[in-house]
């Protein structure tokens, strides 16, 4: 019966990817770019990676040198671009990004590579070739929520974006990933979801679409963890969305495309106010 209801509630979008896309294509609206060559696409990805780092700075996701964001190179998928070690998110620029391989060799860039970031991200990228981007930072609410070892509840439309699309990972919980095999152990446990609550460690998000989607879903996941902890602090049991409603909402507010779209206002703000990120 639920399956029938789900089918009936599907919307006819025509050739649109989302209900949020205007039917009148002459209206101003962000569209995903098309590239003439790998060099053009690479520059685009590097700029968006820097913007993702700057967005993390806006959200105050910094914690010393912890936190790393990665995106695959479009021409060489066994290589990935990442933020430099011991550089604040707010000071990441196109010129100080690092290009590394799965073994941790730096092929481009002068800065060192974050060892823990390399071990985990390289393993995930290698074991999951469909994942193009990954984000992790040691945030206040995400780290606190991760200590509970439980998934998010569908308490709102925001949380519904992660309904049945995130997992709690207990593999090597709380153990710093500095040994090569530790990253592979974690990567081998991942399911096909966009978000991971790593117990006693924190949040990770991945995207099979873009660095923008991975970055926005990390911001959203941290926010949802905060919301649930605030609700639980009242001592009152929240009213949860039904599975059918949560799935319906996830379809329209939780896709990879929606994550990309949500990041566009952030991109516009940063492009206007932080031009030094292109240096």
pLDDT in tens, 113-150: 998 788 888 899 999 999 999 999 999 999 999 999 99
In this prediction, residue 9 carries a pLDDT of 57
Taking CA atoms, 99 is separated from 28, 73, 150, 204, in Å, by 35, 8, 35, 21
pLDDT in tens, 156-176: 999 999 999 999 998 765 455
Count of CB atoms situated within 10 Å of the CB of 253: 18
pLDDT in tens, 14-53: 778 888 888 888 899 999 999 999 999 999 999 999 999 9
Rounded Cα distance, 71 and 248, in Å: 29
Domains and CATH numbers, the chain: 38-278 (3.40.225.10)
Q: pTM, whole model, 2 decimals? A: 0.92
């Amino acid at each position: 019966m639920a399956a029938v209801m789900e089918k009936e509630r599907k919307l006819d979008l025509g050739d649109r990817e989302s209900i949020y896309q205007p039917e009148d294509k002459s209206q101003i609206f962000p569209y995903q770019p098309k590239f003439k060559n790998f060099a053009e696409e690479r520059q685009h990805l590097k700029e968006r990676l820097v913007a993702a780092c700057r967005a993390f700075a806006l959200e105050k996701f910094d914690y010393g040198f912890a936190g790393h964001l990665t995106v695959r190179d479009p021409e060489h998928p066994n290589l990935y671009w990442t933020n430099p070690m011991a550089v604040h998110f707010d000071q990441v620029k196109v010129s100080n990004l690092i290009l590394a391989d799965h073994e941790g060799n730096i092929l481009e860039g002068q800065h060192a590579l974050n060892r823990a970031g390399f071990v985990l991200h390289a393993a995930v990228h290698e074991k999951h070739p469909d994942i193009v981007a990954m984000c992790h930072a040691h945030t206040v609410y995400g780290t606190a929520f991760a200590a509970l070892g439980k998934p998010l509840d569908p308490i709102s439309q925001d949380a519904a974006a992660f309904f049945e699309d995130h997992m709690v990972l207990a593999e090597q919980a709380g153990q710093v990933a500095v040994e090569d095999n530790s990253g592979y152990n974690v990567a081998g446990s991942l399911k096909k979801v966009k978000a991971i609550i790593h117990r006693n460690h924190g949040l990770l998000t991945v995207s099979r679409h873009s660095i923008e989607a991975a970055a926005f879903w990390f911001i959203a996941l941290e926010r949802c963890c905060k919301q649930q902890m605030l609700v639980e602090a009242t001592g009152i049991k929240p009213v949860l969305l039904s599975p059918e409603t949560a799935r319906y909402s996830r379809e329209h507010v939780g896709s990879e495309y929606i994550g990309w779209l949500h990041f566009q206002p952030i991109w516009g703000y940063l492009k206007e106010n932080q031009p030094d990120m292109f240096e």
